[in-house]
């Protein structure tokens, strides 16, 4: 089994995607485009399991462990390419059950090694998420040097975007939409 990768994440509710977009453009070292994603979350006996389908891209099964917290938090994950996403979704639904499907439009910027996600989530609203991959390359971006570097970069972005404690979100979109 491959060793899990790790990232440091922070998620917050935002009032205006346009304001956040302008702030992102001020610090972005690269614009990575817009994705339309559907994440199907399955019931998992431990950790979290979702099938991520992105329009025009190969699907990925994502297994991960992450504590719910409003503070920047580490997430350990495995990414498994899904060559037959419909068949895999059906098999996992039949054996584990579907917890929820999350549909979103995600605009992605890169600030050095940190991905900035501006998300419009169906049924929830607008959010910003920062994601710093630690130690090894992942998702096509270079990693931050170490966990401390990841936390420092997220703190900088939190200050730049004016994100206060009341804006922070502790759980996943899947948790927020689950009945």
Domains of the chain with CATH codes: 5-177 (2.40.320.10)
66: pLDDT confidence band, cut at 50, 70 and 90? Answer: very high
Q: pLDDT above 70 covers what percent of the chain?
A: 96
Q: What is the pLDDT of residues 104-133, one digit of tens each?
A: 999 999 998 899 999 999 999 999 999 998
How confident is the model at residue 144, as a pLDDT? 73
- The pTM for the full model equals 0.92
* The predicted structure's pLDDT at residue 136: 62
The confidence band for 141, taking pLDDT boundaries of 50, 70 and 90, is low
pLDDT band per the 50, 70, 90 thresholds, residue 140: low
Ramachandran assignment for 8, one of left (phi > 0), alpha (psi -120 to 50 degrees), beta (any other) = beta
Cα–Cα distance, 17 to 99 (Å, whole number): 28
> Beta strands 59-66 and 125-134: pairing type?
unpaired
- Contact partners, residue 103, CB within 8 Å, separation at least 6: 36, 37, 38, 121, 122
Res 139 pLDDT > 80: no
């Amino acid at each position: 089994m491959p060793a899990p990768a790790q990232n440091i994440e922070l998620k917050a509710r935002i009032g205006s995607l346009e304001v956040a977009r302008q702030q992102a453009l001020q610090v972005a070292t690269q614009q990575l485009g817009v994705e339309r994603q559907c994440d199907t979350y399955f019931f998992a006996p431990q950790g979290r399991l979702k099938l991520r389908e992105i329009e025009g891209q190969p699907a990925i099964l994502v297994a991960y462990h992450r504590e719910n917290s409003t503070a920047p938090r580490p997430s350990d994950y495995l990414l498994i390419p899904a060559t037959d996403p419909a068949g895999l979704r059906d098999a996992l639904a039949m054996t584990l059950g579907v917890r929820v499907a999350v549909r979103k439009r995600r605009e992605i910027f890169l600030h050095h090694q940190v991905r900035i996600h501006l998300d419009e989530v169906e049924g929830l609203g607008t959010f910003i998420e920062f994601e710093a991959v630690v130690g090894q390359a992942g998702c096509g971006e270079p990693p931050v040097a170490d966990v401390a570097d990841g936390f420092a970069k997220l703190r900088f972005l939190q200050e730049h975007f004016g994100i206060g404690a009341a804006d922070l979100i502790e759980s996943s979109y899947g948790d927020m939409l689950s009945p």
